[in-house]
Amino acid sequence: MAKLKDKVQNALDEARMLVLGSQVLLGFQFRAILETGFEKLPRHTQLMKLGGLGLMVVAISLLLWPGAFHRIVEQGEDTNRLHRFTTRVMQAALLPFAFGLGIDVFLASERLFGMAAAAVCGMAALSVALFFWYGLEALHRNRHAPQAKENQTMNQKDDNAPAEKTKLKDKIKQVLTEARVVLPGAQALLGFQFAAFLMESFDKLPDSSKTIHILSLALVALSVIFLMTPAAYHRIVEQGEDTEHFHQFSSRMLIAAMIPLALGITGDLVITIRKVSDSGAFALLAAVLSLAMFYGMWFGYTMYRRAHREIADQAKPR
């Protein structure tokens, strides 16, 4: 039976695997809008591309959520509640990822094979993804359910407290893992933002969109700097030693990095939606909804759960 700290670490490592795939598709979606050939696509194809982009943004938001939950709600402690939360969020994130993948396969196939054949290709990709990510698990779950249920029962403890006090070295290992979950996406987006200046379509954007892009680039660059700071701090200040001060510092850097990252993604989302829809008002509405999703998940919900946990702790008999 796996220890709780190992289960949490495995969940974080699995989240890293999912994030890498989502980030590649997100970068592809952003880049495609500025490619010269995008303007030649049929209107329905452009709108589907925009829909695929939205699905990838939702998937990224979900996959980065457990890190904020771990830092803000659990304050770096390993709990059964954190493990269950991470599991459920990862399961939910695979759904928009699967549909986004199906849309991209459809769009890539349409120009070569026509709409009917492309629809078959897209549905095939979606079906395969759904089978391996949900169907296969459903088939095997009943077979292994008794053993899993037994292990869960043995691990059932107070959700408002760690199963056992998490060791400092494990806390630091996990906060660095969570930083590595966020960092590749920020780096991929930063690379796209730098490359966008060299694209022919970028020169055709309105000056306001160019300004938003530069601001978004600066925000994502700030996020990358924050995420890389703990490594330098650990080497230079702590001389590689694990200290509670370093754990707290790394946690703050991780949370701080997620604030400009959400703004940077939203900025490029505004540019993309404005280019496709030719509506500044619609792009602004999408920006508000995007930020509400990012900050609502990462900070609003987690701060609510933290306050709820603290109230529950105070109500316990001493």
Question: Residue 136 corresponds to which amino acid?
Answer: L
Sorted by sequence, the CB contacts under 8 Å of residue 283 that are 6+ apart come out as: 270, 271, 273, 274, 277
The mean pLDDT of the chain is 83
- Would residue 149 be called left, alpha or beta, if left means φ above 0 and alpha means ψ between -120 and 50 degrees? alpha
| Cβ atoms of residues 86 and 10 within 8 Å | no
pLDDT in tens, 85-127: 988 998 898 899 889 889 888 887 887 788 899 999 999 999 9
Q: Which residue has the tokens 């779950």?
A: 141
Q: Which of 175, 196, 186 is nearest to 219 (CA)?
A: 186
Six token digits for residue 270: 């505004």
Answer whether residue 79 shows pLDDT above 70: yes
Closest CA to 261 of 15, 97, 63, 61: 61
Residue type present at position 111? R
**Helix or strand or coil: residue 189?**
helix
Residue range 242-275, pLDDT digits in tens: 889 889 999 999 999 999 999 999 999 999 999 8
Tokens at 183, concatenated: 């960092």
Within the chain, what is the greatest distance between any pair of CA atoms? 70
Q: What angle do CA 179, 20, 36 make, to 5 degrees?
A: 120
Number of domains in the chain: 1
Structure tokens at 231: 């490594």
pLDDT of 154 reads 47
pLDDT above 60 for 176: yes
Q: Which residue has the higher pLDDT, 292 or 199?
A: 292
pLDDT (tens digit, 9 = 90+) per residue, 189-198?
Answer: 887 788 787 7
- pLDDT of the residue at 112: 77
Give the range of the structural domain holding residue 298, as residue numbers without chain letter.
Answer: 4-315
pTM > 0.85: yes or no: no
Cα atoms in the Cβ-side hemisphere of radius 13 Å centred on 191? 11
* Cα angle value 221/10/73 (rounded, 5°): 65
CA angle 24, 7, 175 (to 5 degrees): 60
Contacts of 178 (CB under 8 A, 6+ apart): 12, 66, 67, 70, 71, 254
Task: Count the Cβ atoms, other than its own, within 10 Å of residue 164.
Answer: 12
Mean pLDDT across 227-239 = 87
pLDDT value, residue 40: 78
pLDDT of residue 149: 52
Full DSSP string of 208-268: HHHHHHHHHHHHHHHHHHHHHHHHHHHHHTSTT---HHHHHHHHHHHHHHHHHHHHHHHHH
> Given this model, what pLDDT does residue 284 score?
93
Question: Taking CA 64 as the corner, what is the angle to CA 155 and CA 167, rounded to the nearest 5 degrees?
Answer: 45
Side chain identity at residue 269, one-letter code:
L
